[in-house]
Amino acid sequence: MSLLVTGSIGIDTVKTPYGISEECLGGSAIYFSMAASFFNPVRFVGVIGSDCPYELSEVFAGRDVDLTGLEVRPQSKTFRWTGSYHEDMDERTTDRLELNVLEEAPPKVPEPFRDSKFVFLANTAPKLQLELLEQILEPVFVAADTMNCWIREHTDDLRLLLKKIDCLIINEDEARLLACEQNLIKAANMILDMGPWVVVVKKGGSGSLLCSADGKKFLLPAYPADDVNDPTGAGDSFAGGFMGYLAQKGSTGFDILKTAVAYGTVTASFTINDFSLKGLTLIGKSDIENRFEVLRKLTKF
Amino acid sequence: MSLLVTGSIGIDTVKTPYGISEECLGGSAIYFSMAASFFNPVRFVGVIGSDCPYELSEVFAGRDVDLTGLEVRPQSKTFRWTGSYHEDMDERTTDRLELNVLEEAPPKVPEPFRDSKFVFLANTAPKLQLELLEQILEPVFVAADTMNCWIREHTDDLRLLLKKIDCLIINEDEARLLACEQNLIKAANMILDMGPWVVVVKKGGSGSLLCSADGKKFLLPAYPADDVNDPTGAGDSFAGGFMGYLAQKGSTGFDILKTAVAYGTVTASFTINDFSLKGLTLIGKSDIENRFEVLRKLTKF
């Protein structure tokens, strides 16, 4: 089934204990699309300025990513992020942030994309996520990401968004913040009460937790990565693998959701192996399938 | 097969965000024995002073815990610990520590216990763990716990101990400290190079990691506890369930080790439900079996 993503396109400079990656292509829509394209065609909606040094049609060459929704604004500048990861790679500091085009009006969803069935609203102001969602005619399954600043400062908009989506994909600290509850199981249940019928809590190196409103749960450890060089994009790659698999199946039964979490986990495990997009561009679908089977074996008892 | 534990007996005062438990019975050997006794008879070796307000034969009434190795020293005082758990329950502060009898010579392993096959050396100075181990004639599987102060300040003794045990059961931060490596998979492999052929890394609310020297791995999330009142004793209860199951099976094949990690996880999940030993004393074996099946279902895909 059709899969649409709205999110950022960024120029990232990333420092980790294992190296530096300067002026690389990044952003949530980029990582998501690269990850999801292993499973399903992707409809891409995002905006850049005229300064973007990357040609996205080349970046996605050979992948089924429809860039009809890419808007280039000649008078604007592309979003830029510079960040540093700490020794434990689970925490990072933003050294410099230039929102640029992300502070302007969001891109429009092109007419041919409005019939999209699976939709991922990557992290941005919940008001913009709502605006984007309103342009989709009859979505089947809408997932969104959010972060601490929106939870803290745009609570009303976020509460409104939560009532209109099927699934929230969220980091563990953000889940605790949103629910005002330290216990993660309780926090997930409280988020389900806010609207979505599925919550996926991402716990970085500690795996993920899937909960649905009918009381079903699934716990999955992270893929045991012994070669982590750059965690940037891991969350959006997880979302890409997760949503890509769901769109491929065209179904959201709990067993399908569980398998989707496993594919998200495995896809993200490749992202963190290398800097920027390299971890995802140097592999094929068979690499993902192989790690999927390894993860299944590693967790079975 | 026979299972022996050497460890502490303590009088604990514990504060958590959910309550206070004053002058309760605690200590590694107590939690371990209570947990392991669901699976296998336990031979108990530990020492208290004359001030201990608890009659251990009453505490373990109805359980197959042989207290022949309990030494009461009339001139000594029992070990005491006062601690507070923080809001997230994964971190705690020691408010007061009175080692008392633990600063004296360790207890002797009684003659009838020297033929023990499965042995758990709970956390104490590695030199004492070595002394205790030397008294066991022909152990089949020896596991030990340790902590940051021994890793930092008794490195040589600990390195010697690691060459003589089969399995190290260790917290994730301590594993990183011991291996001088942030990546947990790499750290576990480095610890395997130090001697033991099995390493179990406990990650609290994030589950556990089992690695063996032949390259096999197993990942298990924590049981999804939504009612955590007192994490004290969780690690020793994990070790008790783990070692109890291994001793019951009399075997240490990797599939048995995996199942033992799951039983350790489930047993510890009851410990944290309530203060002190209540979480373990109010349940039966069928409760453990039920949660074991729930955990299996929650992690299967």
Tens-place pLDDT, residues A120-138: 999 999 999 999 999 999 9
Output the CA–CA distances (angstroms, integers) from residue A1 to A117, A140, A246, in the order listed: 7, 10, 9
Which among A206, A228, A258 has CB closest to B301? A258
| Amino acid letter, B145 | D
- Pairwise CA distance, residues B264 & B258, whole Å: 10
- Pairwise CA distance, residues B84 & B81, whole Å: 10
Q: Which residue in chain B has the smallest CA separation from A224?
A: B185
Query: What single DSSP character describes residue B106?
Result: P
Query: What single DSSP character describes residue B115?
Result: T
- Pairwise CA distance, residues B35 & B64, whole Å: 11
Cβ neighbours for A185, distance < 8 A, ≥ 6 positions apart: A209, A211, A217, B224, B225, B226
Q: What is the mean pLDDT of residues A13-21?
A: 94
User: What pLDDT was estimated at residue A210?
Assistant: 98
User: What pLDDT was estimated at residue A122?
Assistant: 96
Nearest 5°: CA angle at B111, between B118 and B49?
90
Contact B162, B141 (CB under 8 A): no
Asked if B224 lies within 8 A of A209 by C-beta distance, the reply is: yes
| Amino acid letter, A155 | T
User: What pLDDT was estimated at residue A22?
Assistant: 96
Residue with tokens 């973007």: A52
- Closest by CA position to B159, among listed B194, B196, B198: B194
Rounded to the nearest integer, the mean pLDDT of chain A is 96
User: What pLDDT was estimated at residue A3?
Assistant: 98
Asked if B299 lies within 8 A of A88 by C-beta distance, the reply is: no
Q: What is the mean pLDDT of residues A265-279?
A: 96
Give A243-261 pLDDT, tens digit per residue.
Answer: 999 999 999 999 999 999 9
Residue with tokens 């997230």: B88
- Pairwise CA distance, residues A288 & A269, whole Å: 9
Which among A87, A189, A296 has CB closest to B301? A296
User: What pLDDT was estimated at residue A26?
Assistant: 97
Asked if A301 lies within 8 A of B301 by C-beta distance, the reply is: no
Give B44-85 pLDDT, tens digit per residue.
Answer: 999 999 999 999 999 999 999 999 999 999 999 999 999 999
For chain B, list residues with pLDDT below 50.
none
Q: What is the mean pLDDT of residues A271-297?
A: 97
- Distance between B286 CA and the closest CA of chain A, angstroms: 19
Q: Which residue in chain B has the smallest CA separation from A257?
A: B301
| Amino acid letter, A145 | D
Q: For the ranges A66-70, A135-139, A208-212, B122-126, which has the lowest average pLDDT?
A: B122-126
Asked if B220 lies within 8 A of A301 by C-beta distance, the reply is: yes
Predicted TM-score (pTM) of the model is 0.93
- Closest by CA position to A44, among listed A64, A22, A20, A14: A64
Cβ neighbours for B27, distance < 8 A, ≥ 6 positions apart: B7, B8, B9, B10, B12, B46, B79
Residue with tokens 């080692």: B99
Judging contacts by C-beta atoms under 8 Å, the chain A residues touching residue B266 are none
Q: Which helix H or strand E contains B8, and what residues bound it?
A: none
ipTM of the complex: 0.89
| Strands in chain B per DSSP E | 3-6, 10-16, 19-26, 42-49, 65-73, 79-85, 92-98, 118-121, 141-145, 167-171, 198-202, 208-212, 217-220
**pLDDT band at residue A91, thresholds of 50, 70 and 90?**
confident
Which among A88, A189, A301 has CB closest to B218? A301
